[in-house]
Amino acid sequence: MAIKDNLVDIENVLVKYNAKLLPVIKNRKVEEVKEIYDCGYREFAENRLEDYYSHIREIKDAQFHFIAPLQSRKIKEITSNFKWIHAVSRYKEIEKIKDNYNNNNLFLQINIDNDFNKSGINLDEIYKYFQYFDKYDIPPVGLMCIPNIESDSKKVFSKMEKINSNLKKDFKNYRGELSMGMSNDYEIALDYGATIIRIGTKIFI
């Protein structure tokens, strides 16, 4: 099936929701990215700076989301090149971003399963992190999570929706974006308030 047809299938699901599709183009050829671009998409997700540089040379008017765990030594480069950063998960990252802030849209990554093998902060730390963002006057725009593949997606995304709703009540400048849902679970994520779904495999199969 062609990339265009796969996008149409996803868009047909999205039409019922107030959410957007973020194509994940890591490890993809420029020709593949151009196919998505030609379908009208102008925002893309990357997880490697090297791929970003090869893609941006060909699609100069796009915006890029960085979705990989952050390395402190690369944060200056990332804030300079990515409007959206989806995986803030440590205090020292916030400090480094503060020093190199470029009106970036920041997502706090939540380790929703308390999985030792995943990045992200634990649930009992969320409010402390939001207060830390407030300290530097760079509030996050939303939350992001990547559930364990063995988790019950409905329970995980329901929990994220409730957390997000409470944060919107308690932090007045918080936009409440929810970056969650990938190729295998995006329809469930949409049912629980996802505003951004990050999809790669399902576009390119």
- Summarised one tens digit per residue, pLDDT across range 78-109 is 999 999 999 999 999 999 999 999 999 999 99
The average confidence (pLDDT) of the chain is 95
- H helix runs in 15-151, sequence order: 30-38, 49-56, 75-81, 91-99, 126-136
Distance CA 141, CA 164 (A): 11
DSSP letters, 138-192, are ---SEEE----TTS-HHHHHHHHHHHHHHHHHH-TT---EEE---TTTHHHHHHT
Structural domains of the chain, count: 1
Determine which of 3-7, 11-15, 36-40, 147-151 has the lowest per-residue pLDDT on average.
Answer: 147-151
pLDDT at 117: 81
Please give the backbone phi and psi of residue 92, each rounded to the nearest 5 degrees, phi first.
-65, -25
pLDDT at 181: 97
Query: Which residue range forms the structural domain that includes residue 24?
Result: 3-204
- 172 pLDDT higher than 90: no
pLDDT at 52: 96
Q: What is the CA radius of gyration of the chain?
A: 16
Where residue 115 falls among pLDDT bands split at 50, 70, 90?
A: confident
pLDDT at 1: 57
pLDDT at 116: 80
Overall average pLDDT of the 41-51 stretch: 96
pLDDT at 119: 87
Distance CA 160, CA 166 (A): 10
CATH of the domain at 47: 3.20.20.10
pLDDT at 44: 98
> What are the structure tokens assigned to 70, written together?
């952050």
Distance CA 140, CA 106 (A): 5
pTM of the model: 0.95
Q: What does the angle CA 43 – CA 48 – CA 54 come to, to the nearest 5 degrees?
A: 70
